[in-house]
């Protein structure tokens, strides 16, 4: 166990825990958009910045990727930190003016308007890479990734249209904090739309009742991964014995 201070309050945390986790466990709220416990920390959104004083040195770090240490002092509400957060959310507001989630987060941080020129492409991606991390770390595929550099950077399929690796499981859709990735199931086809590309996938109809219940490629991937025969997986949850 490690003892340290957050906002003047002494708390205990497990070794190897991040400052963000320890703070949340003690009901100290730190805003964040790019954290999910099923994937490794990445530090993309920069909203969880905190001041950390270690000995004589004071640094501003991302709390989601900073491990707790004996004797450190964390300040989650210093003037500098709040200024950084407001700046970040203002930039995000300009990047995705139509995103409800970003607007709510901005409201929480006391920001209602942005001084920057809003983007007009209508895409809500904030490049937090939760989708690509989930694809790689949770599903075990790497169907989508962040491509290009600088202002051109975006989450997309290779060459915008090669979905060979994608099993259409929908994890990226579910994990996306701003709803930038969309999915629709209609008449045996699943369409997943990433910000600049979209792809259609076939759904499998249950061999007993005919209900379209899962993407074909997902079932094939599961069969190959687990060694279970494909026919056994082709029955929907309601019809399974």
Partner 1 sequence: MINSSVYVPRILPELESFTPGHRACVGCGEVLALRLAFKAIGRDAIVANATGCMEIIASQLPYTNWKVPWIHTLFENTAAVASGIEAGLKAKMRKGHLPRRDTRVVAIAGDGGTADIGFQALSGALERGHNFLYICFDNEGYMNTGIQRSSATPYGATTTTSPAGKQSIGQFTWKKDMPGIAVAHNIPYVATACPSYPVDLIDKVKKGVETKGPAYIHIFSGCPTGWGCASDLTIKLGRLAVETGAFPIYEVENGRYTVNITPEKLKPVKDYMKPQRRFRHLTEDAVKEIEKRLREEYHKLLEKAECQS
Q: How far is the CB of 26 from partner 1 (least distance, A)?
A: 10
Q: What whole-number distance in Å separates Cα of residue 102 and Cα of residue 95? A: 10
Q: Is 160 in the site for partner 1 (CB under 8 A)?
A: no
By beta-carbon proximity to partner 1, the closer residue of 49 and 192 is 192
Site residue total, partner 1 (CB under 8 A): 28
- Interior CA angle at 140 toward 138 and 141, to 5°? 120
Strands 57-62, 73-75: pairing kind: unpaired
DSSP 57-104: EEEEEETTS-B--TT-EEESS-HHHHHHHHHHHHHHHHH-TT-HHHHH
Scan residues 191-230 and list those touching partner 1 (CB under 8 A).
Answer: 203, 211-214, 218, 222
The binder of partner 1 chosen from 13, 124, 143, 169 (CB under 8 A): 169
List 2, 138, 206, 235, residue binding partner 1 (CB under 8 A)? 138
Please choose, out of 51-59, 89-97, 153-161, 166-174, the segment that lies near partner 1 by the rule CB under 8 A.
166-174
With H, G, I as helix, E, B as strand and everything else as coil, classify residue 184: strand
| CA dihedral over 82, 59, 116, 31, signed as positive or negative | negative
Q: What does the binding site for partner 1 look like in residue numbers (CB under 8 A)? A: 24-25, 27, 29, 36-39, 134, 138-139, 169-171, 173-175, 185, 190, 203, 211-214, 218, 222, 237-238
């Amino acid at each position: 166990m490690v003892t340290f201070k957050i906002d003047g309050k002494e708390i205990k945390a497990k070794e190897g825990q991040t400052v963000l986790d320890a703070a949340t466990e003690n009901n100290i709220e730190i805003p964040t958009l790019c954290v999910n416990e099923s994937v490794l920390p990445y530090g993309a959104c920069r909203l969880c910045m905190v001041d950390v004083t270690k000995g004589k040195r004071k640094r501003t770090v991302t709390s989601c990727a900073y491990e707790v240490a004996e004797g450190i002092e964390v300040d989650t509400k210093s003037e500098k930190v709040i200024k950084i957060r407001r700046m970040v959310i203002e930039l995000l507001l300009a990047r995705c003016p139509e995103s409800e989630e970003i607007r709510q987060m901005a409201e929480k941080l006391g920001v209602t308007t942005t001084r920057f020129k809003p983007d007009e492409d209508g895409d809500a991606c904030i490049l937090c890479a939760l989708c690509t991390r989930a694809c790689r770390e949770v599903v075990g595929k790497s169907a989508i990734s962040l491509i290009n550099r600088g202002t051109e950077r975006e989450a997309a399929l290779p060459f915008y249209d090669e979905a060979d690796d994608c099993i259409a499981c929908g994890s990226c859709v579910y994990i996306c904090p701003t709803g930038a990735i969309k999915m629709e199931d209609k008449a045996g086809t699943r369409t997943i739309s990433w910000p600049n590309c979209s792809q259609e996938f076939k759904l499998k109809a249950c061999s007993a009742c005919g209900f379209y219940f899962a993407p074909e490629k997902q079932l094939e991937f599961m069969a190959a991964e687990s060694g279970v025969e494909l026919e056994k997986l082709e029955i929907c949850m309601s019809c399974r014995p």
